[in-house]
Amino acid sequence: MICTNCGKEVPDNAKVCGYCGHKLKVVDPLPTAITPKEVPAGKATRTGGVPAWIWVVGGLALTALAFMLFTQFSLWVSRARQNPQSNSAVGVVQPTANEDGQSSSSSAEEPAAEGPTSVSVYSGEAEVPAGSEIELTGGWVATTPELVSEYFDSIEAYVTVDGEPRSIGTPFLAEVQEGDYDGDGNPDYSGYWYIPMSALEAGRHVILVTIFYSYPITDGFDLDGNGEEDIYSEDEFYDLILIAN
């Protein structure tokens, strides 16, 4: 199947896109249209005074509209989780917190004027200044602040650089932001986290970030539409290429 976030082909049974980290969902195919019976010429098939074909077309249109709205909602939540600093629902760019606690409005892939260079683990590839300290960033979106806090209580991160261990432990929670990430009019909450890293030498470096869950958690959403809150317990892997120059 194709990842709805980055457009790359992934295995049909994949739950997370190996290219961008987007959580995948199984979408049931649209129901097959039922061909109305043929009726003799000069006669019309009516249901309560309305031709049967109008009911068929109207039903298909409503089904397609519901599918589009559900897909849009899923993408909204996934993108917000991948980059909670940028609230696409309201068009606000939130400030990021550096390791020393100072705020910076720089983007995830651009070096800040002061402090470490922030790089999103979902970006895939980025350029950083050689010899500059780095912080890897990510986030989590949930329906309540308590679920955001539970996420940080349950995870640990393991980072390797060019195959060598570089960092392990609980990512730092910078701040919790409130916003309407799914556009339903109800407040949602995002937690922005970061992992400090030492400076890189000039060249191309392969970064692997693994997020471990110590116990299953939920974000309070129902992205797969099964009537139950989504549960997360499987380890997550993010590959990142950093070009230091």
Query: How many Å apart are CA 143 and CA 24, to the nearest integer?
Result: 19
Q: CA-to-CA distance for 240 and 25, rounded, in angstroms?
A: 23
Measured distance CA(102)–CA(151) in Å, rounded: 24
Residue 60 β-bridge partners: none
CA pair distance 117, 133, nearest whole angstrom: 6
pLDDT value at residue 101: 45
- Indicate the pTM of the whole model: 0.51
Q: Which of helix, strand or coil describes residue 85?
A: coil
**How do the pLDDT tens digits run along the chain, 245 residues long?**
788 888 888 777 777 777 777 777 655 555 555 555 554 555 444 445 667 778 787 778 887 776 666 665 555 555 555 554 443 333 233 334 444 444 444 444 444 446 889 999 999 999 999 998 999 998 889 999 999 999 988 999 999 999 999 877 778 887 788 988 777 888 999 988 888 888 899 999 999 999 999 999 999 998 888 999 999 999 999 999 999 99
What pLDDT is stored for residue 87 in this prediction? 39
Label residue 48 left, alpha or beta by phi (over 0 means left) and psi (-120 to 50 means alpha): left
Of 194, 220, 219, 190, which Cα lies nearest the Cα of 87?
190
The confidence score (pLDDT) of residue 70 equals: 61
Residue 203: which residues within 8 A CB-CB, separation 6 or more? 130, 243, 244
